[in-house]
Amino acid sequence: MKPRSRVLAFTVASLLAATALAQEAPPPPPPPPPPAQPAMPPAPAQSMAPPAQPAMPAQPVPPAPPAAPMAPAEQAQPVAQQGSMPAADGSLTDVHTAQIGPSITVNSGMPPAQDYGPKPSFEQLDANHDGRISHEEAQSYLLLYNDWLHVAGHGSSISKSQYAHWTD
C-alpha cells in the first residue's frame, strides 16, 4: 500500500471515529444564569444637593393577590333533580336536571317518541317494482332509512322477507 493511501485511510477512519464519538457524547450543560443584581443600589454619599427621586428597582412589581374566595353560603351549589315527565304519547320519559348557579340549567333525557303511523306496505316503498327496497327508496320512510344497516344486514337492498321481519 502506498503511503498516500495509508494517510488517506487513516484520515477517513479518524473522521468516522470522531463522528461516532460526537454522536454519543451528551450535550454540554447550559450556561449558568447571570448573577443576580442587588435589589437596592448602594446609597450615595450625602451632599448638600437636594435629595433626588429614588430610582425604581430593576425587579418587576409582583402581581396583585387574587380576589378573596366567596364564603360557602355565597358559592353556587349544584342542585340535581331526577324524575319522570309525561311524554306526548302519554308514556313517561326520564328527565335529569342539574342547576348550577343562578343562570345555568342542564336538562338531559330522551326526546319523546314521534308517532309515524303504521308501517307502509312493501309495495308502497318499492317505487321501481323490482322486488327490493334500495337505500334511495328507503328514504321515503324515515324509520326504515334510520335503521337501514340493521335491516339490510350491510347489504345494498332489502328483500320482502327482510322487511316483513323488521319490527315484527
On whether residue 138 sits in a domain, the answer given is yes
pLDDT above 90 (res 153): no
Can you read off the three cell numbers belonging to residue 125? 316503498
pLDDT (tens digit per residue) in 4-17: 788 888 888 887 77
84 or 158, which is more confident? 158
Q: Tell me, what's the pLDDT at 114?
A: 79
31-80 confidence digits (pLDDT tens): 887 777 665 655 555 555 555 555 555 566 666 666 665 555 455 555 55
Query: Looking at the domain assignment, is residue 150 inside a domain?
Result: yes
pLDDT score of 76: 52
Higher pLDDT, 130 or 3: 130
Residue 109 pairs in a beta bridge with: 95
- Return the pLDDT at 10: 85
DSSP one-letter string for 125-151: H-TT-SSSEEHHHHTTSHHHHHTHHHH
Same domain as 127, residue 104:
no
C-alpha cell at 153: 344486514
* 71 falls within a domain: no
Q: How far is CA 11 from CA 6, 8, 18, 22, 37, in A?
A: 9, 5, 11, 16, 50
The neighbouring-strand residues paired with 98 are 80, 106
How far apart (Å, rounded) are the C-alpha atoms in residues 104 and 9?
79
Q: Give the rounded percent of residues in the chain with a pLDDT score beyond 90.
A: 23
* Confidence class for position 132, pLDDT limits 50, 70, 90: very high
* Domains: count for the chain: 2
Instruction: Name the more confident of 120 and 79.
Output: 120
Cell 425604581: give the residue: 56
Query: Terminal CA-to-CA distance of the chain, rounded, Å?
Result: 94
Which residues span the domain enclosing 86? 79-108
Which pLDDT value is given to residue 3? 72
**Separation between Cα atoms, residue 140 and residue 150, nearest integer Å:** 17
Residue 43 lies in a domain: no
Q: Is residue 161 part of a domain?
A: yes
Residue 116 lies in a domain: no
Q: Is 47 a domain residue?
A: no
Residue found under cell 308502497: 124
On whether residue 51 sits in a domain, the answer given is: no
Q: How far apart are CA 54 and CA 43, in angstroms?
A: 10
Reply yes or no on whether the pLDDT at 144 is more than 80.
yes
